[in-house]
Amino acid sequence: MFIINKTKDSIINAELSGCIYVGEDRHTVKAVVGEQSKMYRLGLYSSEDGAKIALEKLMTAIGEAKRMFAMPDDDEIEREIRHRSSRYPDKFASDGKKPVRHGGS
């Protein structure tokens, strides 16, 4: 699988990477590639949550055995963060049942 970095100016062969991780600054997704263990920045995000979401999307693409993956841009990450932190709770409980309401009809 080939990974296109966020700025769209380099491509990394994921099969040659030893490790893909969120960096020490907690905002950067990095990959260690090759025998010389050279580090490449795949994307710099505005928050730790953004970097983790980008890494999750990359892991999903690897799991689905996609041939190519472009690191998500800031707009896509922000939409995902807003979606995950929706102010409306899910309609159903974790067991799939409707919540029990006690009150008048």
Tens digits of per-residue pLDDT, 25-53?
A: 999 999 999 888 899 999 999 999 999 99
- Indicate the residue type of 79: R
More confident residue, 95 or 58: 58
Q: Which strand (E) or helix (H) includes residue 79?
A: helix 74-84
What is the pTM assigned to this prediction? Answer: 0.78
Which conformational region is residue 76 in: left (phi greater than 0), alpha (psi within -120 to 50 degrees), or beta?
alpha
Q: What pLDDT is attached to residue 34?
A: 87
Quickly count: other Cβ atoms within 10 Å of residue 82's Cβ. Answer: 10
Give the Å distances, CA to CA, from 71 to 14, 47, 54, 61: 13, 15, 7, 10
The pair of structure tokens assigned to 64 is 């689905």
Residues 88-103 have a mean pLDDT of: 64
